[in-house]
């Protein structure tokens, strides 16, 4: 297996599976766990931390000296704040074993007497998730989180760590048993976090780097799950019919949506594609797809249910429900739009400029509020 950040690891002995299992054990030994990392970063818990990671990284900016008193803190500085640790502290706080593992897996590198990480490691629940970094807090940015540029790592942009929308979909769906298909799996988090509740687990993603991360995370967790490169628009029952499909729908990457700050809002076009393609992957009858979408609700509509109803002509037989959910990081209130003030914890924009552009775009398009919603899509009834 080739880790996305290094083709070399595959040639090492022992192989990546055993290295990743050892890394899991060493991270635990250093008490780099969900509770201690939330504590270091000043968050209420792991979900609060991962929903607002850049904000907590910024808030911890003046406390990083405290982090380096322990191994867990040094790991948090490297893999959650995406900052750097001096070589002396790195060698004092971390065991030889974990340092060798991090080096062999190519997860760290040295620059000017300090150590930096190439990837993020997010503790969530009792597991760890490797992913790309979406921001970095380095001396050259004066310790402020700066967004790691889109597209820097590959054709599809960074492979996201577990973040606000991941946690929202996890919170608002429950395990249903049978065969799980995680579409747009990213680093594999939905598939792996839910794996225990299912007979079989598979994740697909259009991005080969995401699939490589997901495979690495399955090894890290010692979890049986299959991951494949595939486009949901070609989604049939190639991998066997799914009883439950989860999809945290992707951002749009067209230039105009990005420049207007609206890339994370979903459109009628995506909903049409979901309705057309997802039912083909489901077991019939009984298969259910649940998709997290972010819906801009215009002034003339009541809520996300109305909007999706209008987009689908109100009679798409396969959409059974549109359930609006509350999420502080994904909801934008009418008041925020009216006052052109989207708060920094909003996960739909990465910077002050993006928040300002998004607020302007929402106001000028007469959007009343932005609502996250879980769409439930059923297998198409037999003709």
* 233 is a contact residue toward ligand SAM (CB under 6 A): yes
| In the complex, least distance from residue 251 CB atom to ligand SAM, rounded to whole angstroms | 6
Q: Where are the beta strands (DSSP E) in 219-277?
A: 226-229, 244-248
* 236 is a contact residue toward ligand SAM (CB under 6 A): no
Of 16, 71, 83, 162, the one binding ligand SAM (CB under 6 A) is 162
Task: Return the number of the residue (156 or 321) whose C-beta is nearest ligand SAM.
Answer: 156
* 250 is a contact residue toward ligand SAM (CB under 6 A): yes
CA distance 140 to 128: 28
The window from 32-40, 180-188, 315-323, 340-348 that contacts ligand SAM (CB under 6 A) reads: 180-188
* 123 is a contact residue toward ligand SAM (CB under 6 A): no
Q: Are 321 and 172 in contact (CB under 8 A)?
A: no
Q: Give SS3 for 147.
A: strand
| In the complex, least distance from residue 274 CB atom to ligand SAM, rounded to whole angstroms | 10
Task: Return the number of the residue (147 or 334) whose C-beta is nearest ligand SAM.
Answer: 147
- Which of 155, 109, 160 lies closest to 134, judged by CA? 160
Task: Return the number of the residue (21 or 252) whose C-beta is nearest ligand SAM.
Answer: 252
Of 124, 137, 190, 379, the one binding ligand SAM (CB under 6 A) is 190
- Which of 358, 352, 345 lies closest to 54, judged by CA? 345
The window from 50-58, 201-209, 295-303, 312-320 that contacts ligand SAM (CB under 6 A) reads: 201-209
The DSSP H or E segment spanning 120 is strand 120-124
Q: Compute φ and ψ for 365, nearest 5 degrees.
A: -90, 10
- Return the exposure string of 3-29: e unless at least 16 CB atoms fall within 10 Å of the residue's CB, then b: bbbeeebeeeeeebeebbebbbebbee
* 156 is a contact residue toward ligand SAM (CB under 6 A): yes
* 51 is a contact residue toward ligand SAM (CB under 6 A): no
Q: Are 379 and 287 in contact (CB under 8 A)?
A: yes
The window from 18-26, 58-66, 137-145, 182-190 that contacts ligand SAM (CB under 6 A) reads: 182-190
């Amino acid at each position: 297996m080739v880790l996305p950040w290094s083709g070399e690891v595959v040639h090492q002995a022992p192989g990546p599976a055993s290295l990743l299992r050892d890394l899991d054990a060493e991270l635990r030994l250093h008490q780099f766990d969900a509770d201690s990392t939330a504590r270091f970063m000043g968050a209420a818990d792991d979900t609060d931390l991962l929903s607002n990671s850049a904000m907590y990284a910024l808030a911890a900016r003046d406390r990083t000296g405290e982090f380096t008193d322990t191994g867990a803190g040094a790991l948090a500085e490297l893999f959650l704040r995406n900052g750097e640790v001096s070589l002396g502290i790195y060698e004092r706080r971390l065991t030889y074993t974990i340092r060798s593992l991090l080096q062999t897996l190519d997860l760290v590198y040295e620059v000017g007497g300090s150590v930096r990480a190439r990837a993020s490691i997010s503790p969530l629940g009792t597991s760890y998730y490797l992913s790309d970094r979406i921001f970095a807090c380095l001396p050259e940015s004066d310790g402020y989180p700066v967004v790691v540029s889109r597209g820097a790592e590959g054709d599809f942009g960074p492979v996201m760590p577990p973040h606000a929308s991941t946690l929202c979909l996890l919170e608002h769906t429950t395990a249903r048993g049978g065969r799980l298909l995680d579409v747009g799996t990213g680093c594999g988090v939905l598939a792996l976090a839910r794996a225990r509740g299912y007979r079989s687990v598979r994740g697909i993603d259009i991005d080969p780097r995401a699939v490589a991360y997901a495979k690495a995370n399955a090894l890290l967790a010692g979890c049986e799950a299959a991951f494949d490169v595939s486009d949901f628009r070609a989604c049939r029952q190639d991998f066997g019919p799914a009883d439950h499909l989860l999809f945290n729908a992707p951002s749009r990457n067209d230039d105009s949506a990005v420049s207007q700050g609206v890339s994370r809002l979903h459109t009628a076009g995506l909903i049409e594609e979901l309705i057309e393609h997802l039912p083909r992957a489901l077991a019939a009858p009984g298969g259910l797809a649940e998709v997290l979408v972010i819906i801009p609700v215009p002034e003339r509509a009541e809520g996300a249910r109305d909007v999706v109803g209008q987009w689908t002509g109100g009679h798409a037989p396969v959409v059974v429900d549109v359930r609006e959910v509350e999420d502080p990081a994904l909801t934008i209130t009418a008041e925020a739009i009216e006052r052109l003030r989207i708060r920094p914890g909003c996960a739909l924009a990465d910077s002050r400029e993006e928040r300002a552009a998004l607020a302007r775009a929402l106001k000028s398009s007469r959007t009343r509020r932005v609502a996250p919603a879980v769409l439930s899509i059923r297998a198409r009834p037999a003709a």
